[in-house]
Amino acid sequence: MKKIGQKNITGYIYLKSGLRVGGSDDLLQIGATDLTVIKHPVTFEPYLPGSSFKGKLRSELEKKEGKFGGRDFNEPCTCAQDNCFVCRVFGPHKKPNHNLGPTRIIVRDAKLVRGGELETKSENIIDRKTGTALHPRKVERVSEGSEFEFAISLQIWDLDANCVHNGKQGGDALVEFVKDGLREVQNTGLGGGISKGYGEIEFRDLKLDGVEFSL
């Protein structure tokens, strides 16, 4: 088993509507799949943590492929099957022993490159059980028109030689799979409050190893 190459997908995440900012509480939520922006502890500049971008990509791809884990199908995929791209690319959830090789995807923190003004809005929190409004809280969001630069690397291993996705094989198949994920994220949006119109995004200037492509 050996690594035979790497593919790099780069681009910008453009905010078509405000994106909810999460604090440290959100980061402590185990299994949270909402992508939140957080503020750098020193500069206070908002950025998108790579771990949450990766989590969002994974959960959208799991929905698209119908790959879930856990007794109630509410956990990430654990199958570790050779034909499961979720497990191949992101690693099987909570399964230390498998034959799929190392996690292929690396997602960097996405830095703010444009805009970044923070707006504060007061919002009621609805109690899920009773449907009643709890104390209003201040919600911070990054302004529409802001842009973040992102980078995703895919480590290609010899184990990937025979895998096929969207008619492509090997490393190209893994790239096609991640493109599917980007398309899903673009269609659904990022962060909390999507149903209220927050977090509408567009990927711009996408490049695969420096060569432009579109979704």
Q: Is 84 in the site for Zn ion (CB under 5 A)?
A: yes
Q: Is 201 in the site for Zn ion (CB under 5 A)?
A: no
Among the residue ranges 13-21, 48-56, 82-90, 112-120, the one whose residues contact Zn ion (CB under 5 A) = 82-90
Q: Is 79 in the site for Zn ion (CB under 5 A)?
A: yes
- Which of 155, 71, 56, 148 is closest to 110 using CA atoms? 148
Q: Is 87 in the site for Zn ion (CB under 5 A)?
A: yes
Nearer to Zn ion, 56 or 67 (CB): 67
Nearer to Zn ion, 39 or 56 (CB): 56
Among 19, 35, 77, 152, binds Zn ion (CB under 5 A): 77
Q: Is 142 in the site for Zn ion (CB under 5 A)?
A: no
Nearer to Zn ion, 32 or 79 (CB): 79
Which residue ranges make up the site for Zn ion (CB under 5 A)? 67, 77, 79, 84, 86-87
